[in-house]
Structure 1
């Protein structure tokens, strides 16, 4: 049970940060397009000095680190579906809260794929 709850925390971290990572990436792209030339060190400096990208990315990666830890200490058939289902739902809610359009076909496809994954993980070999 603790693994499933922790996996939902992973889903929360992934789902809520995805729209912010996207917005932060757009901000970085806008900054990079204004530079006369942008070699790798300069691009890296822009990415790392843009809080709109860096903060949600670090939170997202902390969710990934927790996910990897959970995979090593819990039942994969619980952790993976719980994290992905949580991410799907929270991402849709975060998009709505940020004024993004709800993409029903994508949401339904994602839900169907998560359900198929739950079925496959729960089916004895």
Structure 2
């Protein structure tokens, strides 16, 4: 039975990721209601006002934190699974910088779709 623990652990990790990503999306959408009403002349002011609007709404931030934690669990679970053929180090500084760039890129893509 002990030989199945790593498999069960990975399966639970992927199920947790699916729940974090799929379950939180409707709540993130609901928490961002009203964002489209923000209108500013300058794109910098527009972006800052939208960020302030989203950051100050707990209805948006709590589901977003759960969603992003799903990304971290996915990263860690994938690094331990057989799907990772390269055997890369998942704790390096470069890996965390890459994660930060991905999160920023996704944020920019989402922000461009809102306008």
Counterpart mapping for 1:44-63 below 5 A: 44-63=51-70
**Structure 2 CA distance for aligned equivalents of residues 73 and 12 of structure 1:** 19
2 CA distance for matches of 1:29 and 1:51?
A: 18
**2:3 alignment partner in structure 1:** none
What's the counterpart of residue 24 of structure 2? Answer: 17
Which residue of 2 is the match for residue 3 of structure 1? 10
Q: Give the unaligned 5+ runs of structure 1.
A: 78-125
Maintained 8 Å contact 1:27/1:52: no
The TM-score with structure 2 as length reference comes to: 0.55
Q: Which residue does 2:77 correspond to in 1?
A: 70
TM-score (norm 1): 0.51
> Secondary structure of the residue that 1:18 maps to in structure 2?
helix
The Cα of 1:25 is off from its aligned counterpart by 2.2
Q: Runs (4+) of structure 1 moved beyond 4 Å?
A: 35-38
Task: Give the 5 Å matches for 1:72-111.
Answer: 72-76=79-83
Query: Which structure has the highest helix share of the two?
Result: 1
Q: Distance in 2 between matches of 1:51 and 1:68?
A: 25
* Higher RCO (C-alpha 8 Å, min separation 6): 1
Q: Write the distance in 2 (CA, Å) between the matches of 1:55 and 1:28.
A: 17
**Cα distance in 2 for residues equivalent to 1:19 and 1:59:** 12
Aligned in 2, Cα 1:70/1:49: closer, same or farther, shift over 3 Å?
Answer: same
Count, aligned residues: 75
Q: Choose which of 33, 39, 64 in structure 1 pairs with 2:46.
A: 39
Q: RMSD of the TM alignment (CA)?
A: 2.3
